[in-house]
């Protein structure tokens, strides 16, 4: 088993590459993004931060926390809306 030593420069390069790829995923379809941040979801539905937190805490809206930011999958948002749909 070969031992490989990582330097600070290696870790810095990994970080740069990781965030570049992360940004690329978010910019693939700017008109209909796959992931939304909290402020975007609040703006989309005109809800308060407390209401959005309630949706998270109650398990109604799944989320992912990455680097201190919360992201919501647009498919999960769509499912939540469909689940709450009242049929005429």
Does the pTM surpass 0.75? The reply is no
CA dist 29 → 24, 36, 69, 85 (Å): 10, 12, 20, 27
The secondary structure of 30-45 as a DSSP string is: TTS-SEEEHHHHHHHH
Using alpha carbons, select from 30, 38, 16, 19 the residue that is nearest to residue 8: 16
pLDDT at res. 53: 95
Digit-by-digit pLDDT tens for the chain (88 residues) are: 788 888 988 888 888 887 777 677 656 655 667 889 999 999 988 999 999 999 999 999 999 998 889 999 999 998 988 888 877 6
pLDDT given at position 17: 82
3-state DSSP call for residue 11? helix
For residue 29, the model assigns a pLDDT of 56
Whole-number pLDDT of residue 18:
77
Q: What is residue 26's predicted lDDT score, i.e. its pLDDT?
A: 59
List the domain boundaries for the chain.
34-88
């Amino acid at each position: 088993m070969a031992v490989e030593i990582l330097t600070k420069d290696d870790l810095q390069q990994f970080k740069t590459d990781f965030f570049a790829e992360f940004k690329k995923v978010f910019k693939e379809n700017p008109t209909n993004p796959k992931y939304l941040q909290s402020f975007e979801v609040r703006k989309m539905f005109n809800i308060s931060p407390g209401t959005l937190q309630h949706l998270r805490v109650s398990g109604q809206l799944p989320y992912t926390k990455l680097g201190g930011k919360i992201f919501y999958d647009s498919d999960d948002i769509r499912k939540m809306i469909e689940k709450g749909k009242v049929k005429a």
